[in-house]
Structure 1
Amino acid sequence: MSNGAARPSTPMRAITSTLSTRSAPAVPPATQTYEPLVKGVLRHRLLYNILAPSLLYSWALANVWSNWSQGGFAHLGLWGSLVDCISPLTLTQAAFIWLLGVVPALVVRNRFLTATSTPASSPSKMLSAALTKRSTTYALATYLVSGVSLVAMHMLLANFYEPTPSGHPRFSLFVKSRKHPFYVNGRVLYMLFSQITLAFTYLLRTVLLDRFAVRWTQIPAESDAPEKYPFRLARVVTTLITIGLFVGLSTIGYTVLFGLVRSIALPLVYALPYASQFIRPFTAHFLRGPWTITLLVRNWSLVWRTFFVGVTTAACWEFAESPLDETVTVAQATADPALTLVSGITSTDGFFKQFAYAELNHFASEDSPAAGARRSALFADQKYNPNLWTCLCRESLLTLGKDYQLFLRKGEAAPAAAAAPAPPKPATPLPAKATQLIRAPILKGSPTSPLRAALDTLASDGPLSTAVATTADDAASHIPELFRSVMHASPSAERAVEAVQKSEERVVGLLEETRGRWQEGLGAVVKSRAPQPVLALAGDVGHWWTRERVNRKVEMSLPNRRLDALVISVLCHLVCASLTEDRYGVVQRDIPKILEALLSFLSAIEEYQAEVNKLHVPLTEEDIQQLPVKELAQKERLATEVARAGEVLGEVGDAVKSGVGQIARTFGDKLAAFKFPPRIAQKLQGYVDYA
């Protein structure tokens, strides 16, 4: 047989195998699966539930102002009013009201919206915390520009709509005077500064109410049905009443302030040496006018106009806020709802995390065969590493653990980690002692002269130079390497630096001492001159401004209580469902640590609740009759704060009690198969006995 016949016709190759080890992928992040879906829903709500109704509201405002400026329905008639509603000028005015009033406030709120409230226990601390945020600066600039733009547009349109001499509003920048052409129109100043004052007061209201934080209202015990009509009639009427009262108080305060500036502050400014020369060509006519009270009566229509412009402006800002705590349902539209929701709870943004847990709570508590099948698929999932249940349980316990640690610290920030001690420096071996050279001649020679010996001593390698160099090297060896380049600097520089530092400290201390003396002196003058009712009112206002509220302290300890309640509800519902729907028992291994985490949180809440309850002792009828009215009011206010603090603690405590009780009723005696710490077992036994 030839060699060619023995050779195979096709080359041999190894058989491919599909049994090679492949690592399972991790659960995709929320930025890829969940957050884009929620943003799409919110974008749709913004367009159809907020922007469109606000545009309709702006058109209604433009019609009201246009009809009022032209004499109302009695002057225009039915047909004239209908034509005016769709006139180009009215539509243009509506567009400007929407662009200048609603859109800026909506943009700045959505830009700086946060899911966590500001940690502050008093109005003064709330304002101090707000002043450190960028959102406060941007909001103030937005309100100022929006308010001034709206009032400028109103004055321009008023000059156009009201041209008759009897009803002309006279909104021109300067007073029409041939002798004094640069006198500023006081009516224009009053309108402009009223909007500036309104911007500051509205910002203060926004800060004190913490309007840049979402007010979560959906809790597991309530209905999960979202509010479909955020601009419904009841909300509109309530908002208009609130804004009317707020703008009314703001207008009254601003009118009083404007009168004081015109009557007291402006004459004092004119008394200054050089200030009157600069402002006299523009404001001299203000000093020659009638009394402020008489001027107020004569210009009462201007005050009413200012009030209605303020209501229009504040209502635009108020309706720009949307109820963003409504639940969002996006997982049902995806191929794997469980994966979408588990991925959503891993979001680093608390806003999306809240939405994900709210939808996951409905997923875990729904009672239907389809829902049971979806939960069984979640428990049995092995396509991801870690699997869906492990990822869900770990993320939920981490969320509860962070809030539990914050609760134990009573809302205080975590202490800074101690710096690691520097490693000890290795011991430097002592250098070997150098062998000294013998400078004396080895061979006995003729004795040298005294002059030759002196020259050898002073030479560069002589004994004197060697001793000086050795001493300098020994001194430099004790100086760090970083400072060896400046070790020859003059010590006077160090003394100068110390003197400058001491001078700075002395100046700062002197300024603090001077400010304290001025405050004490001014306070003494005010107390000696001001009437007693005014001092009492100022004291009450100052006490209200700085007093720490008990319920606010508790809220600082539980800033994410609505999210914690949702997390607890999700875990407890899934644990109860695992008894019949978990075919492989993946949930049972995590039941002990889940119950331990929940009951530890509950114990801390009960301890804090007992501590808060000690702050208020219920009053007897005898105490109510004997206590002064002021002290009795303080006791009642404290009782109200303690009750509100109990409600805050109860949001998480009631969720834990309900969830653990549900687990105890579901598992019953089967819980004896798990091992718990003695403290947790004793607390859990009460739920089992009750069940």
Structure 2
Amino acid sequence: MAALRAPLYKELLTPVLHRRFTGAAAFILIVCYVEAILIGDKTSFLWSWFPLGPAGIRTLLLFISALSVFVLRVAQLHLGTRTSASPAQTFTSYLVRLDTVQTLAWYSLSAWWFSEVYMWSASASANLGWIAEGRAWERRKLNERPIYLRSVFFMLAVLQSAIHLYFDYDKVTLPLTKAKDKSTEVPQKKDHPIMQVRASLPLLVRDIGIRSICMCIFGPLIYALFIRNTAWSCSLYFAELLWDVPASQVSYIPPYHISLIIRSLTSGTLLVALWELSNALFVAFVAQEPLKKELPLTTGSKDPNGSLLNGIKSKRDVTRTFAFWELFYISQRFEDRRKAIFSDIDRPTGSVWNQVMTLCLGNILSISNRIRDYQNPPTASAPPPQKITIETLPPISAPLRKENIFTKPLPPSNRREMIEASVGSIAKSYGQSPQPVQSLKFLEKQRAETEKYLGTTRQKLLTQGQQEAYSKSGLLAQYNDYLMRFLRTPAGYPFRQTFKRRVCTVVLGTPYSDLNPIVNSINTLSILAVASLKEDSYGRVAKDIPLLIRAYVSTISSIEGFVSGLPVHQTDVEFIESDRNIEEIDLIIDSLKSGLKDMLKGFAKYGVELGLGEGEISTARKIAGMGDGE
């Protein structure tokens, strides 16, 4: 019953992630301190940098602006790449989601807070106060310089939100082990997260510079055309609550002084740098290995195997992905934990090996299931026919006559029968009249003459090529030609359903890719199967080897057949045959073939005893790419 007392994997993972967030926040605090020095008043050399003075206060205030980005990243964290058939489909899926509104809200809050700290830190000579005092004989009025600067910060927030959503900043990319690197030897230790951020600094500096310069160039134009009047009205409303200022209209000339433009460039650069460094540090610290003091996260648990099983069974993608990553590291590096997986056989839910194999095979075989569902979509069952009850309408005339209708009718005896007889004779005359038939023949003749006349006119006025162009097939061909031209332009790119996106959507799953759990499941089963030859004292793994080999063979065949046989979509106008080689798909196939090869080398000689026929072994060797001497 030890498995029932095992703590949840989330309880072990959450403190580790919190420590990583704290480590990233500590370095962000250093960035905030540097920016606090840069935006501070330089009248005093000591107080401009001394941590216990105004510089320290500005640092803590700026850290709140950076903390907004951290809150956003934690709230929307996911570990898989977004998968969709086209960028346009991604756009429509995320346009009305809460994540989009939340992203804009947090960046706007961060920009607003940064603007207030910046205004408070600026010297009096910068003239960034709410009210412009003017000369002695002039009335106080609203100062437009800080309004423009705040508008620039808001425009940067909108731009950063769009970039955040377009490039999917919410994704944290975890490293993957390739097939050739999955040996049981301890790999070289990876660089510290700070070294990883340092290596990406040139790219970050380029992006920060491009956004700041673009906003410096286009910001004045956007402000004058779309923002100025609204920003002036809102600022005037709040100013009238605090000061005695006249309700004046905005001036004709915006405050585009060179000093203000330069200040918008420098302050905008500091704000974007704070955002980009916060995102980079967050990713670098979160994407570390699932280890604690160079040991698996579950090592300190009362029931390590039970906690690990809770993790790989989790429905939360983050918890599940980290648990499979740890499972791979256990199978690769830690012999004692591998042996514990083989020897733990007395759990109520089944042996640990059986549960691990079932869950890993579930990730692998889900690929074939998705391919099968894509190629043969399930048809919706027709609803059972409903019994229809027709209610009779009330009678609107007298009941039908029951006497013999072939006998000569009696002459009408009253006024009502006389009216019925006259109406009936008129209806019979119209029903037996040949006029409708003649009218139809006349219309048919007129249509034939009109088509003949139009055909003659077309032949006289249009050439043979023009006639073909204006035919139905010609117009359709012209439409397709214009459509292909549009799709080849940058404006048509969002509507292309490229081969890679379509394959990844099916093989890796939606809405986020399952690449990490799939590859780690493949590598884990391959390593554990080979290690069981020496470490499985109960011999339970050997009986499952045929199942693993057949699963690997069927999955490889499904993926390769799907990739080679999938037709190119008509919107994929730039497709070339080499586009069928997709890095993520090749990684899965290489891992499957490498694992299949390792299992065949270790168990092929026991194939007959295990239940594998010679034909199956031969097919598996061929699919794995093994030569005669292997």
**How far apart are the structure 1 equivalents of 2:175 and 2:224?**
47
Q: Which residue of 1 aligns with 2:173?
A: 215
Instruction: Note if 1:197 corresponds to 2:155.
Output: yes
- Aligned partner letter, 2:358: R
Distance 1:204 1:592, change over 3 A: same
Q: Hey, what's the Cα distance between the residues in 1 that align with 2:341 and 2:58?
A: 55
Which of residues 490, 510, 535 is equivalent to 1:541? 490
Check 1:372–1:403 CA distance in 2 against 1; reply closer, same or farther (3 A cut): closer
Residues 305, 342 of structure 1: CA spacing in aligned structure 2 closer, same or farther, 3 A cutoff? Answer: closer
Shift of the 117–578 alpha-carbon distance from structure 1 to 2, 3 Å rule, reads: same
Secondary structure at 2:84 match in 1 = coil
Query: 1:236-264, CA deviations, whole angstroms, 9 ceiling, x for partnerless residues?
Result: 46347525534533542464253265379
Match of residue 271, structure 2, among 310, 325, 339: 310
Quickly say closer, same or farther: Cα 1:387–1:50, change in 2 above 3 A.
same
Deviation at 1:201, TM superposition (A): 1.3
Question: In the superposition, relative to structure 1, how do residues 128 and 247 fare at CA in structure 2: closer, same or farther (>3 Å)?
Answer: farther
- The CA deviation at 1:191 is 1.1
Aligned to 1:113: 77
Name the amino acid aligned to 1:541. P
Name the residue aligned to 2:235. Answer: none
Preserved contact between residue 216 and residue 261 of structure 2 (Cα < 8 Å): no
CA distance, structure 1, for counterparts of residue 359 and residue 226 of structure 2? 63
**Alignment partners' CA distance in 2, 1:136 and 1:229:** 32
TM norm structure 2? 0.69
Within a 5 Å distance, the mapping from 1:11-410 to structure 2 comes to 25=1, 27-28=3-4, 32-47=7-22, 49-66=23-40, 69-70=41-42, 76=45, 80=46, 84-99=49-64, 101-158=65-122, 162-163=123-124, 168-176=125-133, 184-221=142-179, 222=181, 227=190, 229-232=192-195, 235-236=197-198, 238-239=200-201, 241-246=203-208, 248-249=210-211, 251-253=213-215, 255-259=217-221, 262=224, 281-285=247-251, 287-288=252-253, 295=256, 297=258, 299-315=260-276, 317-319=278-280, 321-323=282-284, 324-328=286-290, 329-366=296-333, 370=336, 373-378=339-344, 381-409=345-373
The 1-side partners of 2:333 and 2:612 are apart by 30
User: Aligned AA for 1:89?
Assistant: P
Moved more, 241-250 or 349-358: 241-250
The one-letter code matched in structure 2 to 1:578 is S
Which amino acid is the alignment partner of residue 313 of structure 2? Answer: T
* Structure 2 segments unaligned to the other structure (5+ residues): 230-245, 291-295, 388-484
CA 1:307/1:416 → structure 2, altered by over 3 Å: closer, same or farther?
farther
After superposition, give the CA deviation of every residue in 1:196-226 in whole Å (9 maximum; x if it has no partner): 1111111111112112122122325458666
- Cα distance change, pair 45–662 in 1 and its aligned pair in 2 (3 A): same
Aligned residue number for residue 397 of structure 2: none
Structure-1 separation of matches of 2:555 and 2:216 = 50
Structure 2 residue 555 is matched with structure 1 residue 601: yes
> C-alpha distance in 2, partners of 1:316/1:580?
48
Which structure's CA Rg is the greater one? 1
- Cα separation, 2, equivalents of 1:615 and 1:419: 30
Specify the code of the residue in structure 1 equivalent to 2:119.
M
Deviation at 1:118, TM superposition (A): 2.3
Partner of 1:661: 597
Per the TM alignment, residue 119 of structure 1 is displaced from its structure 2 partner at its CA by 2.2
Instruction: Tell me what 1:567 maps to.
Output: 521
Q: Which amino acid aligns with 1:544?
A: Y
Contact 2:341 2:352 in 1 (8 A): no
After superposition, the C-alpha distances for 1:483-512 in whole angstroms (9 at most, x for unaligned) are xxxxxxxxxxxxxxxxxxxxxxxxxxxxxx
Specify the code of the residue in structure 1 equivalent to 2:557: S
Structure 1 residue 148 displacement after superposition: 1.2
- Measured after TM superposition, the shift of residue 661 of structure 1 is 0.2
TM-score by length of 1: 0.63
**Offset of residue 97 of structure 1:** 0.6
Map 1:668-679 to 2 at 5 A. 668-675=604-611
Distance 1:90 1:560 in 2: 46
Secondary structure of 2:537 counterpart: coil
Q: Identity over aligned residues, as a percent?
A: 17
Q: 1:224 to 1:62 in 2, by over 3 A?
A: farther
1:171 to partner: Cα distance = 0.8
Structure 1 residue 417, shift from structure 2 partner: 6.6
User: Partner amino acid for 1:258?
Assistant: P
Separation in 2, partners of 1:411, 1:204: 35
- SS of 2:175's partner is coil
CA drift of 1:157 comes to: 1.1
Distance in 1 between residues matched to 2:578 and 2:77, nearest whole Å: 27
C-alpha deviations, 1:70-119, integer Å up to 9, x for none? 16xxx83xxx37x73224211100000111x2211111211221233322
Following the alignment from structure 2 to structure 1, what is the Cα–Cα distance between the partners of residues 503 and 340?
38
> How large is the RMSD of aligned CA atoms in angstroms?
4.0
Cα distance in structure 2, aligned partners of 1:184 and 1:237:
46
Deviation at 1:672, TM superposition (A): 2.8
- Within 5 Å, which residues of 2 pair with 1:625-644? 638=575, 642=579
Shift of 1:177: 5.2
- Give the 3 Å change call, closer, same or farther, for CA 225–106 of structure 1 in structure 2: farther
- Residues 559-568 or 539-548, more deviating: 539-548
- Rounded Cα–Cα distance in structure 1 between residues aligned with 2:615 and 2:142: 78
Shift of 1:392: 1.5
- Return the letter of the residue paired with 1:346: K
- For the residue of structure 1 that corresponds to 2:19, the secondary structure is helix
CA distance in 2, matches of 1:679, 1:128: 50
Contact 1:126 1:207 in 2 (8 A): no
Q: CA deviation at 1:41?
A: 1.6
2:49 and 2:223 map into 1 onto residues whose CA distance is 41
Would the aligned equivalents of 1:151 and 1:192 in 2 still touch at CA under 8 Å?
Answer: yes
Residue 42 of structure 1 aligns to which amino acid in structure 2? L
